[in-house]
Structure 1
């Protein structure tokens, strides 16, 4: 097995759901679900990068490594790659690859990470991302006219060409890519996830309520 770093980015300053990383989802704060998931998978090198003192204190209470992210790397428009680069540069230990677990995607199938690592190593890919199928009939609107994009009018949904969206459940990528300013390489493996947890991505209060419902309904599979 490669030498992995599990990295959990949790910046302060969410505008649509203030304090969301420490907001309680079931018995754990939001960030606690990603921490618990990594710990249950048996990883020891787990790091939280944050500019939120409450998040940092919580992570330290779990005996995790905490990297204090500068505020200039934690703005609303700042890409996550800069936080990852800063984290790797701040650590003396070197890693072959990074497993990125975003707190905003707190619910993950139990076996997903094990499966992802197995594929990542067997396929010898540069990166791996989780995706889910989009079964919607999509289109564009031009001059108030709807134009189908991925289907023709009257076509059955089950006959649509498969399209997939990036669900954000987890990413794995070689540290070499990070040095190049990338998360995903040319040899990127799309791991298809069909579990309902893939629908959860928390940005708003409504997203949070949906996560609570899913956590309760699917708790036997979490």
Structure 2
């Protein structure tokens, strides 16, 4: 049974037009996830890019990925990611057991992240796994011009906060059977903790890309 990587990469982005082909270092943003998957070829058997854009398609092929043309019907701004993953599975060989989702907008990942996560995923026989990071901020909401603390009391030390975590988008591993039922993160999904500076990178604006470029050059 195979494990494949799928990288969804639409051409349209209202907040940051053409972000998936912007350069991070000397390489297009998309290529970083393709190269990461290739570096983990002990785990990943095939790499697929799902796109509706010709320029992205050319980049994907140039860097050695296979391309699945995504129809307009599942390429809109509000279409969930699982639609693209499910569409890819409908076009590949039926012996795919696991899908590794790599988001092009999370181009920087710790070198051994996939190896460590996949070992746990297999050993414990999880049906899905996703990466999370701890949030150390004092969070609250504003209502009627007043700040209402959410995860702390006014005056509480930050080191005494109850641990809260956020989905960082670095990596998802899921059984293909779940995706065919429109699920990426199951109720029993394992939250794999990653406390690394790369978990702070999620490119949605030009400023995000500038920050990623700084880390890329530094690391």
Class of the TM-score when normalised by the shorter of the 2 chains:
over 0.9
Counterparts of 1:73 and 1:61 in 2: how far apart (Å)?
24
Counterparts of 2:113 and 2:93 in 1: how far apart (Å)?
29
Cα offset, 1:184, TM superposition:
1.1
Aligned length: 217
Other structure's SS at 2:64 match: coil
Q: 2:19 aligned with 1:10, yes or no? A: no
Residue in structure 1 matched with residue 151 of structure 2 by the alignment: 150
Q: 2:69 aligned with 1:77, yes or no? A: no
Q: 2:74 aligned with 1:59, yes or no? A: no
Residue in structure 2 matched with residue 197 of structure 1 by the alignment: 198
Cα offset, 1:216, TM superposition:
1.1
Residue in structure 2 matched with residue 26 of structure 1 by the alignment: 25
Cα offset, 1:125, TM superposition:
0.8
Residue in structure 1 matched with residue 39 of structure 2 by the alignment: 40
Residue in structure 2 matched with residue 96 of structure 1 by the alignment: 97
Counterparts of 1:216 and 1:93 in 2: how far apart (Å)?
41
Cα offset, 1:90, TM superposition:
1.4
Runs (4+) of structure 1 exceeding 3 A deviation are none
Unmatched 5+ stretches in structure 1: none
CA deviation vs aligned residue, 1:26-69 (integer Å, no higher than 9, x gap): 02100000001000112341011100111111212233211000
Counterparts of 1:152 and 1:18 in 2: how far apart (Å)?
41
Q: Is the contact between residue 125 and residue 189 of structure 1 (CA under 8 Å) also seen in structure 2? A: yes
State TM-score, norm by structure 2.
0.96
Counterparts of 1:37 and 1:62 in 2: how far apart (Å)?
11
State TM-score, norm by structure 1.
0.95
* Gap change, CA 1:44 and 1:125, over 3 Å in 2: closer
Counterparts of 1:61 and 1:145 in 2: how far apart (Å)?
53
CA deviation vs aligned residue, 1:3-36 (integer Å, no higher than 9, x gap): 2110010011111211111111002100000001
CA deviation vs aligned residue, 1:42-101 (integer Å, no higher than 9, x gap): 234101110011111121223321100001211111111111111101123421110000
CA deviation vs aligned residue, 1:136-183 (integer Å, no higher than 9, x gap): 001121211111111111110000000000000010000111121111
Q: Is the contact between residue 2 and residue 45 of structure 2 (CA under 8 Å) also seen in structure 1? A: no
* Gap change, CA 1:44 and 1:126, over 3 Å in 2: closer
Q: Is the contact between residue 126 and residue 186 of structure 1 (CA under 8 Å) also seen in structure 2? A: no
